[in-house]
Amino acid sequence: MTAEPIATAPEVTARVVDGALRAIARYGLAKLTVDDVAREAGISRATLYRYFPGRGAVLAAVVESETERLRRGLDEALADTATLAEALAAVAGYGARAFAGHEALQHLLATEPGAILPHLCFSGADGLLRVAADRIAPHLCRFMGPLEARRTGEWLARIVLSYGLAPPAGPAEAAVLGVVSEFVIPAAEERAGAAGG
């Protein structure tokens, strides 16, 4: 039995989410049980069930937590950027690193692609691109209007997704940054020049 010194909802949630991600990275999604999650989280089943009625609730918490983590990560990645070029590279680089470095995601892509690809392709991609556009756009608004910021944000997300799902020969982050530097930054600077004069 593991000792559980704390039990506030946010703390339990954090442990459950971390535990779930570790469990998914190890066992995948199909066979994931609440017991696996509780064990990885270092809490009892009873405690887990007190806060999460079942697998579905755990997974929903994981998605919410990861979305929030991405948002914070994006903020951090953009904190020191001053120019449009730096901002675009920071967004793309962060996205590529987050995708490649996400152990649970990478495990699922390798061993249970059917479980995760519907969220990353076609209608899943549609939703994801729009969320990405919404999250990225505010960071680009200091350089361009809000509509262009959304479109540019979506474009960066498309690039990250494409190289994430169909990785190139070398490291994906380098390829993403290469493409952003070769095509996206000149395009954005050209538009900014045309607009601002």
Partner 1 sequence: MESRSVRERVLEGALLCIGRYGLARTTVDDVAAASGVSRATIYRHFPGGREQIVTDTVGWEMGRFFLRLGEAVAGASDLSSLLEHGLAFARRALEEHAVFQRVVDTEPDRLLPLLTVESFRILPLIGGFLVPYLERECDAGRLRPGADIGRTADYLARMVLSCIGAAGVYDLDDPDEIRLLVREQLLPGVLAPGTILVERP
Q: Footprint of partner 1 on this chain (CB under 8 A)? A: 113-115, 117-118, 121-123, 125-126, 129-130, 133, 148, 150-152, 154-155, 157-159, 161-163, 165-166, 178-179, 182-188, 190-191, 194
- Residue 63 vs residues 105, 113, 183, 196: alpha-carbon distances, Å: 11, 17, 32, 39
- Would you say 54 or 186 has its CB closer to partner 1? 186
Minimum CB separation of residue 192 from partner 1 in Å reads: 11
Residue 179's Cβ-side half-sphere holds a number of Cα atoms within 13 Å equal to: 19
- Would you say 6 or 110 has its CB closer to partner 1? 110
- Would you say 57 or 117 has its CB closer to partner 1? 117
Concatenated DSSP letters for 5-48? ----HHHHHHHHHHHHHHHHHHH-STT--HHHHHHHHTS-HHHH
- Would you say 38 or 136 has its CB closer to partner 1? 136
Minimum CB separation of residue 48 from partner 1 in Å reads: 27
